[in-house]
Amino acid sequence: MSKLIKTVRGMRDFLPEEKAKLDHVINVVRNLFEKYGYDEVSMPIVENFELLAMKAGEDIRKRMFVFEDKGGRTVALRPEMTPSVARLFIDSLMKAVPKPVKLGYIGPCFRYEEPQMGRYREFWQGGFEVFGSPHPEADAEILAIAHDMMTSLGFEKFQLRLGHVGIIRSILKQEGIEEDYQDRIMGMIDADKKTEVFGLLAELDTSEKCMKSLTQLLKIKDEDLKGGLKKAQEIVGDFPNTRKAMKNLHQIVEITEAQGIIGKIQLDLSLARGLEYYTGMIFEIFARKLPIAIGGGGRYDKLVELFGGVPTPAVGFSPGLDRIALAMDKEGLFADLSKRNKVLVVPASEDVYSHAAGVVQELRRQNIPCELELMRRSLKRSLSFASNSNYDYVVIVGKREMEKGEITVKNLKTGEQKTVSIDKAHKEIPNVSRKNTGE
């Protein structure tokens, strides 16, 4: 087959079933925008490379699709949307609106990864961002949305791994380690390259005490959040500037307890994130049958300022929509999606072709999703096509029906058949929609 017919490596087509699954996940995310008061925005796919690269972290930076446009600007396909939303906030909303500003978004992103299960070069993200609140309630709201999303999608067993970049960064800072080295160390922790972490720390003449504390901290993975926090407190006791981060994490945990979502959270102080803009709480979402994160986020209080805006604290997260669909597939959570009623309207003879086209439109006016038989098959062939293609109902329009303003509704699952006036069609064909929004 010609190479032209294949998608570019790592880019994705969505066939109808896959598209329906992605849309289902998108619908649930959109519902959460409304439920939690996030206004949806949309940003361009192409942005200035510099904006996207500034705090992307080394790994994502080198995976960006970068090119020069015809005007000589160095631009890139966005690898994520947080820098774009921060730009939009500074450009249009920073001064005009009282805080907090809560924004939601959905769209495709691009990273030049080695394609494999759940890792694509083109993938879909959603996102929730809160601008303006430095308080732990905002962090906890983001965790609550992530939790709500997972239960709304039907996941029963899942985990939110919770960490805090402020703790390790404060220790490194107390040791006199500069921010760019801190970024590198956090990147190595994220990539699980512990030997390299300690190699670099040794090169930087880090104290014995620091090395020991970090080794112990990175081992904390605890579902008993308060117990885990107590252990961490004992380890970082000698580093007074970790106090602020520890207190902040305590407060976030306390609020999540009040929200009733604590059972799904694991404290994981070895968690780091590839992106370099995080300043506080960070987390990732894991489903049972997929070893990679299906969402992640955290607090980034310096990004707006770094981009030239008025200093504005911010926190948010992005669900990876394709990965969520994959995880749902693995857990059989899409079973309900095929529930839509399929209805085929069939003209019984040539002389009612136009009338049947009018009938199908009238049924749609009654909110009945339906299709007209477009191949001009005979009635008999239409009926066998409909049953082979899993239709639920066939609406037969014959000459006699046309003259009386009626239709014959045949239920293909039960075999029952009834002739009724067109305006009563909705009583015979229940409108079961495919759009399951998780409510």
Residue 332: Cβ-neighbour burial (10 angstroms; 0-12, 13-18, 19+) = exposed
What is the closest distance, in whole angstroms, from the C-beta atom of residue 388 to ligand HAM in the complex?
36
Indicate the residue among 48 and 387 with the shorter CB distance to ligand HAM. 48
Quote the tokens at residue 259.
């929200």
Q: What angle do CA 259, 263, 265 make, to 5 degrees?
A: 90
Indicate the residue among 277 and 334 with the shorter CB distance to ligand HAM. 277
Indicate the residue among 119 and 135 with the shorter CB distance to ligand HAM. 119
What is the closest distance, in whole angstroms, from the C-beta atom of residue 159 to ligand HAM in the complex?
13
Indicate the residue among 298 and 347 with the shorter CB distance to ligand HAM. 298
β-pairing, 74-77 vs 343-347, is unpaired
- Asked if residue 377 lies in contact with residue 389, where contact means CB atoms within 8 angstroms, the answer is no
Quote the tokens at residue 151.
């239960």
- Paired residues of 163 in beta bridges: 282
Whole-angstrom Cα distance, residue 101 to residue 38?
Answer: 8
For residues 379-404, one letter each, b for 16 or more C-beta atoms within 10 angstroms of the residue's C-beta and e for the rest, the string is: eeebbebbeeeebbbbbbbbeebbee
What is the closest distance, in whole angstroms, from the C-beta atom of residue 193 to ligand HAM in the complex?
18
Indicate the residue among 141 and 322 with the shorter CB distance to ligand HAM. 322
What is the closest distance, in whole angstroms, from the C-beta atom of residue 120 to ligand HAM in the complex?
4
Nearest to 319 by CA among 18, 26, 55, 19: 26
Indicate the residue among 168 and 314 with the shorter CB distance to ligand HAM. 314
What is the closest distance, in whole angstroms, from the C-beta atom of residue 296 to ligand HAM in the complex?
3
What is the closest distance, in whole angstroms, from the C-beta atom of residue 228 to ligand HAM in the complex?
22
What is the closest distance, in whole angstroms, from the C-beta atom of residue 339 to ligand HAM in the complex?
27
Contacts to ligand HAM by CB under 6 A: 80, 82, 111, 113, 118-120, 123, 125, 127, 129, 275, 293-298, 300, 316-318, 320, 322-323
What is the closest distance, in whole angstroms, from the C-beta atom of residue 335 to ligand HAM in the complex?
23
Nearest residue relative to ligand HAM (C-beta): 320
- For 207, phi then psi, to 5°, come to -70, 155
Indicate the residue among 124 and 334 with the shorter CB distance to ligand HAM. 124
Is the N-terminal amide bond of 100 cis, ω within 30° of 0? Answer: yes
Nearest to 273 by CA among 293, 258, 289: 293
Indicate the residue among 111 and 410 with the shorter CB distance to ligand HAM. 111
Q: Calculate the CA dihedral of residues 351, 353, 354, 355 and round it to 10 degrees.
A: 80
- For 81, phi then psi, to 5°, come to -115, -5
What is the closest distance, in whole angstroms, from the C-beta atom of residue 200 to ligand HAM in the complex?
23
Beta-carbon count within 10 A of 251 CB = 16
Indicate the residue among 129 and 222 with the shorter CB distance to ligand HAM. 129
What is the closest distance, in whole angstroms, from the C-beta atom of residue 428 to ligand HAM in the complex?
44
What is the closest distance, in whole angstroms, from the C-beta atom of residue 163 to ligand HAM in the complex?
13
Indicate the residue among 22 and 211 with the shorter CB distance to ligand HAM. 22
Indicate the residue among 101 and 275 with the shorter CB distance to ligand HAM. 275
